[in-house]
Amino acid sequence: MAEVQVNGNLMHSQNGTSEFAGFKTIVLDKYVPIKTGDKFKVLFKNNAVPYQAFSRQHYVPGMSLVSDDGQSWNDISLENKTVCLKAYTINQN
């Protein structure tokens, strides 16, 4: 399950499955408009969380949150980890 929120509002929700564990591009069923200054959040529910740990990367507090129950969230940047999740955008008026 993937959800996209813009400025705290749910803009899109989509379910699906992956044939394998690991990285996979999930193409959304619709475009979600995001304007300059908007804050967006991608929520992704999966059995395994792909993360990177103890690299030379700068870990940003509050950017990689993980939850077992969807209620209480752990900031894994405090453990020198980051969730490997990318959101791609296109420039369109």
State the pLDDT confidence band at 80, using cuts at 50, 70 and 90. Answer: very high
Could you report the per-residue pLDDT of 38-74, keeping only the tens digit for each?
Answer: 999 888 887 777 788 888 888 889 888 888 888 899 9
Looking at residue 25, its pLDDT comes to: 78
Question: What is the number of other CB atoms lying within 10 angstroms of the CB of residue 89?
Answer: 10
The sign of the torsion formed by the CA atoms of 2, 74, 60, 20 equals: negative
Q: Is it the case that residue 22 has pLDDT exceeding 70?
A: no
* 82, two tokens: 């980051």
Looking at residue 79, its pLDDT comes to: 92
